[in-house]
Structure 1
Amino acid sequence: MNKEKRLTVEPMIPKPRARKEIHQAVTLIIEKLNLTLGSKVLDVPMGPGALSVYLHHQGYKVYGADIDLHQSAAIEPSIIRKRADLNKAIPFESDFFDLVVSLEGIEHLENPFQFVREVSRVLRPGGYFILSTPNICNLEERLNYLFRGCFYRFISPEEFKQNGSGFDHQNLMTWVEMKQILEWNELRPLFLEKDKIKWKQLIFLWPIGLLVWFYGRLQPPERRKKYCMDDNESFAVIFGGSSLISVSRKSLGKKT
């Protein structure tokens, strides 16, 4: 319990920009990966540095990258920070990190394919990638799409010019799209996790969830595989909270 609360009660750690439920879920996932002390971890985008400081206190060698380093200026100088436009190159050498963590960042990028390609490049073979992004595949968001016809609001050219790239959700993705980007870049998804359970969604929308599940059961195996129905019918996706957390591992490469 102390580990779950450490991010919110320890005064030396900056306040997380992402919701505390995401940080709590991700820190528990990292603990289960059993990385050795001193493993090299990249927090990208690092924001104020809440996760970076936490991982530093756990004994990892932590690096961070963000387009705005002013917000993390007060954290420990032993955490190496680099400025980076994540639509372009990540400024670290190839095969360098044991773990890359990206919380609520990819949906703000113009070029998510480039970002994941760079994540794969800087990860060593066998390294892990933890990615969180808004869950637009849960039942609530599916119903919103049915009635609105879109997953998010329209961002005008004037608003984009005024605020610049990254100020809002520019690239929300379904799990099928996320999985496609990951696997195209030698990152094999291991499992999905939720940030929290939306109890109102579970209580009021479970009949729709049951209908979705029955529909999926009626589909032939090739169709289920084509649309990743095993994942899309999972509890983490359908009844999960506002964010979906995926854990992937980089291919070890071909043996010679």
Structure 2
Amino acid sequence: MAKHRRDVAKDSIIKSMLPANTGLDIFESSAGRGELAIELQDAEHRVRVSNFKPGSLQFDIPEDIVNLEAGLPYEDASFDVIICREVIEHIACNLPLLKEFARCLRPGGTLILTFPNKLSLPSRLYHLFTGFYNGLKSPINPGVFFGEAHVNLISYHEMDYLLRDSGMSQVVGRSSDIRPGAWLTAPLIPVVRLLTWYFLFQYKKKAQEHRKDKPEFVAYNREIYEAITSTELLLGKDVIMSARKN
């Protein structure tokens, strides 16, 4: 089965975030059928994948059956790159898994995550009128098997914080999927940028956990501001983040 055009675009950005050399040790968590993994293997990388249960993988790639909620069965510093593609929103507690990813990365290694863009303008408008977000548009039905629904939507700035708390830095955010209808919300971009600037840099400058009166906090807020007010992340349906292990 051919990849959907949205997956082609997403995987193209993921591959652009890889270190620029061959022979990398790459782990893709919950890789599904393994389309991206086989492309990386064909590009002369050493690839290992996991899935929650057997039967999904369709290519000859080393596969482990792993419950990501229970940790990773790998030694410290095992991989140059870890990819977690459209999985993290299915995990109830993100921080323990992110710390496991960091543990299994070599120093300077790259972590790449993709997940639904909770803070896109279409998603914000949907939330305004329904109380739900794109990616979780209605309540999860009782009895749905845990992990098969989006149980933990997370925003860009929340993920940035968790990545840094896990020992990562040099965080970069992109989006690969801007739907035509999203452009209808584009007239709101200047207003959103202005209000976001005010609340990130001016509002309650000395609130204890959100202080804005020190240069290092201003610099961090500026990084977040530039990311979440970019046209890509204001209109895109997904987020693709990369970070490097310190």
Shared fold (TM-score, shorter chain, > 0.5): yes
Return the alpha-carbon distance in structure 2 between the equivalents of residues 106 and 32 of structure 1. 18
SS across alignment from 2:157: helix
- 192-201 or 94-103, which deviates more: 192-201
Deviation at 1:59, TM superposition (A): 0.5
Partner Cα separation in structure 2 for residue 174 and residue 41 of structure 1: 26
2:230 to 231, 234, 238: 234
Q: CA deviation at 1:70?
A: 1.0
Corresponding residue number in structure 2 for 1:84: 66
- Provide the residue aligned with 2:37 in structure 1: 52
Residue 97 of structure 1 corresponds to 79
Whether the 8 Å CA contact 2:13–2:176 is kept in 1: the answer is: no
One-letter code aligned to 1:250: K
Structure 1: which 5+ residue stretches go unaligned?
1-13, 252-256
The answer on whether the counterparts of 1:39 and 1:98 sit within 8 Å (CA) in structure 2 is yes
Cα distance between partner residues in 2 of 1:142 and 1:197: 15
Secondary structure of 2:69's counterpart equals coil
Q: Distance in 2 between matches of 1:113 and 1:189?
A: 18
Match of 1:246 in 2: 241
Alignment correspondent of 1:9:
none
1:212 is matched with 192
Q: Does 1:131 align with 2:127?
A: no
- Aligned counterparts of 2:125 and 2:39: Cα–Cα separation in 1: 37
Shift of 1:92: 1.3
- The secondary structure found in structure 1 opposite 2:194 is helix
In the other structure, the counterpart of 1:119 is 101
Distance across 2 between alignment mates of 1:121 and 1:215:
38
Cα 1:46–1:32 shift into 2, 3 Å: closer
Structure 2 distance, partners of 1:15, 1:200, is 25
Deviation of 1:236 (Å): 2.0
In structure 2, how many angstroms separate the alpha carbons of the residues matched to 1:154 and 1:26? 30
Show CA shifts across 1:153-188 (max 9, x none). Answer: 2224x323xxx2111111111112111211110111
The 1:23–1:249 alpha-carbon spacing in structure 2 relative to 1, beyond 3 Å, is farther
Q: Which moved more, 1:138-147 or 1:104-113?
A: 104-113
- Report % sequence identity: 22
CA shift, 1:149, in A, is 1.6
The offset of 1:107, in angstroms, is 0.6
Deviation per CA, 1:213-244: give whole Å up to 9, x if none: 1223445262975593332211221021x211
> What is the one-letter code of the residue matched to 2:22?
L
Contact 1:236 1:244 in 2 (8 A): no
Report the CA distance between 1:145 and its aligned residue.
Answer: 0.9
**2:177 is aligned with 1:182:** no
After the TM superposition, which of the residue ranges 183-192 and 225-234 deviates more from structure 2?
225-234
Give 1:28 deviation, angstroms: 4.0
Q: 1:109 aligns with which of 91, 98, 117?
A: 91
In structure 2, C-alpha distance between the alignment counterparts of 1:118 and 1:15, rounded to whole Å: 32
**Contact kept? 1:191, 1:247, Cα under 8 Å:** yes
For 1:69 and 1:166, the matched residues in 2 are separated by 15
* Secondary structure of residue in 2 paired with 1:114: helix
Deviation track 1:51-107 (CA, whole Å, cap 9, x = no partner) reads: 1111111100000011122111x411xx21111001111111111101111110011
Distance 1:175 1:235 in 2: 14
User: 1:11 is matched with which residue?
Assistant: none
Conserved in 1, the CA contact under 8 Å of 2:11 and 2:36? Answer: no
- Three-state SS of the structure 2 residue aligned to 1:197 is coil
> What displacement does 1:30 show?
2.2
Is the 8 Å Cα contact of residues 14 and 240 (structure 2) preserved in structure 1? no
| Rounded Cα–Cα distance in structure 2 between residues aligned with 1:15 and 1:170 | 28
- Count residues in correspondence: 227
Deviations 1:135-154 (A, max 9, x none): 11110000111111232222
For 2:124, the equivalent position in structure 1 comes to 142
